[in-house]
Chains A and B, each alone.
Chain A
Amino acid sequence: MIKVNGLWHSYSKDNIYAVKNVTFGVEKGEIFGFLGPSGAGKSTTQGILTGLLPLQKGEVYVGGYDLKKPCDDMFNIIGVSFEQPNVYGKLTAVENLEFFARLYDVPVNDPMHLLKMVGLENDAKKKASEFSKGMKQRLVFARSMLNNPEIWFLDEPTAGLDPATAGRIKEIIRDRNKKGTTIFLTTHNMYVADELCDRVAFINDGEIVLIDSPRNLKLKYGDRLVEVEYREEGELIKETFSITDDNERQKLTRLIASGNIETMHTKEATLEEIFIKVTGRGLK
Chain B
Amino acid sequence: MLKRIVAIAARDLKSGMRDFMVVYIIIAPILLAYVLSLFVPSAGAATLQFAVDKKLGNDIVDYLSQLGNVEVMKDADSIKNRVMQSDDVVGITKDGTKYEIILEGNETENTDIVTKQILMHFEGAGSELPVEIKFSDIGWRISPLAQYGAITLVIMTTVLGGMMISFGIVEEKQSGTIGAVYASPVGRIEFVTGKSILGFIIPIAQSIAVMMIFRFTDVNFAMLLLVILCSSLIGILIGFVIGVIANDQISAVSSMKMTFLPAAASVIGAILLPSRWLPVLYWSPFYWTFAAINDLILKRETWANTLTYCGAILLLTLFAFLLFKKRIKTGLA
**Does A73 make an interface contact (CB < 8 A)?**
yes
Say whether A90 contacts B180, CB under 8 Å: no
Instruction: Verify A100–B185 contact, CB threshold 8 A.
Output: no
- Chain B, 170-225, CB within 8 A of any chain A CB: 171, 175-177, 179-187
A75 touching B18, Cβ below 8 Å: no
- Return the chain B residue nearest A84 by Cβ: B176
Whether B179 and A86, one on each chain, are in contact in the complex, defined by CB atoms closer than 8 angstroms, is yes
With A90-B15, A91-B14, A102-B3 as given contacts, are A51 and B176 in contact (CB-CB < 8 Å)? Answer: no
* Smallest beta-carbon distance B294→chain A, Å: 39
Cβ B177 vs Cβ A103 within 8 A: no
A110 within 8 A of B: no
Query: Which residues of A sit under 8 angstroms from B15, Cβ to Cβ?
Result: 88, 90-91
Q: Does B325 sit within 8 A of A, measured CB to CB?
A: no
A88-B177, A95-B14 as given contacts; A100 in contact with B184, CB under 8 Å: yes
* A143 interface residue per 8 A CB criterion: yes
Task: Write the nearest CB–CB distance from B333 to chain A, whole angstroms.
Answer: 8
- Complex partner residue of A75 from B14, B177, B185, CB under 8 angstroms: B185
**Is the pair A72, B183 in contact by a Cβ cutoff of 8 Å?**
no
Asked whether B4 is an interface residue with its Cβ less than 8 Å from the other chain, the reply is yes
Q: Which of B1-30 contact A (CB under 8 A)?
A: 3-4, 7, 11, 14-15, 18-19
CA gap between A90 and B18 in the complex, in Å = 7
In the complex, are the beta carbons of A88 and B175 less than 8 A apart? Answer: yes
Q: How far is the CA of A143 from the CA of B15 in the complex (A)?
A: 18
Q: Flag if A72 contacts B185 (CB, 8 Å).
A: yes
Docked-complex contact B177 and A52, CB < 8 angstroms: no
Q: Contact between B176 and A82 (Cβ–Cβ < 8 Å)?
A: yes
Known: A103-B4, A103-B184. A90 touches B19 (CB 8 A): yes
Enumerate A83-104 residues with CB–CB distance to B below 8 Å: 84, 86-91, 95, 99-100, 102-104
Is the C-beta of A18 less than 8 angstroms from some C-beta in chain B?
no
Please name all residues of chain A whose beta carbon is closer than 8 Å to the beta carbon of B14 when the two chains form the complex: 90-91, 95
Q: Does A50 contact B (CB under 8 A)?
A: yes
- State whether A52 touches B179 (Cβ < 8 A): yes
Residue numbers in B under 8 Å from A105 (CB-CB): 185
Which one of B177, B184, B187 lies within 8 Å of A87 (CB-CB)? B177
Which residue of chain B has the shortest Cβ distance to A102 in the bound complex?
B7
| Complex interface: chain B residues within 8 A of A78 (CB) | 183
Q: In the bound complex, do residue A103 and residue B185 qualify as a contact, i.e. CB atoms below 8 Å apart?
A: yes
Asked if residues A80 and B183 are in contact (CB atoms below 8 Å), the reply is: yes
Query: In whole angstroms, what is the CA distance A73 to B175 when docked?
Result: 25
Q: Which A residues lie within 8 Å of B183 (CB)?
A: 50-52, 75, 78, 80, 82
What residues of chain A lie closer than 8 Å to B171, measured between beta carbons?
A: 88-90
CB-contact partner of A103 in B19, B175, B179, B181, under 8 A: B181
In the bound assembly, the distance between CA atoms of A88 and B179 in angstroms comes to 12
Whether A109 sits at the interface, judged by CB under 8 Å, is no
Q: Tell me which residues from 254 to 304 in chain B have a Cβ below 8 Å from any Cβ of chain A.
A: none
For A91, what are the chain B residues with a Cβ–Cβ distance below 8 Å? 11, 14-15
- Chain B residue contacts of A100, Cβ below 8 A: 180, 184
Q: Contact at B182–A99, with CB atoms within 8 Å?
A: no
List A contacts of B175 (CB < 8 A). 86-89
Nearest-neighbor residue (CB-CB) of B17 within chain A: A90
A23 at the interface (CB under 8 A from B): no
Is the CB–CB distance between A99 and B179 below 8 Å?
Answer: no
Q: Are B3 and A52 in contact (CB under 8 A)?
A: no
Q: How far is the CB of A149 from chain B (nearest CB, A)?
A: 10
Question: A99-B7, A103-B4 are contacts. A86–B184 as well, Cβ < 8 Å?
Answer: no
Q: Name the CB-closest residue of B to A79.
A: B183
| Chain A contacts with B in 132-151, Cβ cutoff 8 A | 140, 143
From A50, A75, A86, residue with most partner B Cβ within 10 Å: A86
In the complex, which residues of chain B have a beta carbon less than 8 angstroms from the beta carbon of A80? 180, 183
Question: Is A240 in contact with chain B by the CB < 8 A criterion?
Answer: no
Using a CB-CB cutoff of 8 Å, which residues 141-186 of chain B contact chain A?
171, 175-177, 179-186
Taken together as a complex, chains A and B put the C-alpha atoms of A84 and B176 apart, in Å, by 8
- Distance A135 CA – B19 CA, assembled complex (angstroms): 23
Q: How far is the CA of A273 from the CA of B14 in the complex (A)?
A: 50
> Across the interface, which residues of A come within 8 angstroms of B185, CB to CB?
72-73, 75-76, 103-105
B180–A143 contact, CB under 8 A? yes
Q: Which B residues touch A82, using CB under 8 A?
A: 176, 179-180, 183
Nearest opposing residue in chain A for B15, CB measure: A90
Q: Which residues of B contact A87 (CB under 8 A)?
A: 175, 177, 180
Assembly CA distance A87 to B183 (angstroms): 13
Residue of B whose beta carbon sits closest to that of A136 = B175
CA–CA, A76 and B183, complex, Å: 9
Of chain A, the residue at the smallest CB distance from B194 is A103
A-B contact pairs, 11 of them (CB 8 A): A72-B187, A75-B184, A75-B185, A80-B180, A82-B183, A90-B14, A90-B15, A100-B180, A100-B184, A102-B7, A127-B18
What are the 9 closest A-B residue pairs judged by CB atoms, nearest first?
A86-B176, A102-B7, A80-B183, A103-B184, A75-B185, A90-B15, A90-B18, A72-B185, A84-B176
Known: A75-B184, A103-B184. 12 other contacts (CB 8 A): A52-B183, A72-B185, A82-B180, A86-B179, A87-B180, A88-B171, A89-B175, A90-B14, A90-B15, A95-B14, A102-B3, A127-B18
Question: Which residues of B pack against A, CB within 8 Å?
Answer: 3-4, 7, 11, 14-15, 18-19, 171, 175-177, 179-187
Residue positions of A touching B, CB distance < 8 A: 50-52, 72-73, 75-76, 78, 80, 82, 84, 86-91, 95, 99-100, 102-105, 127, 140, 143
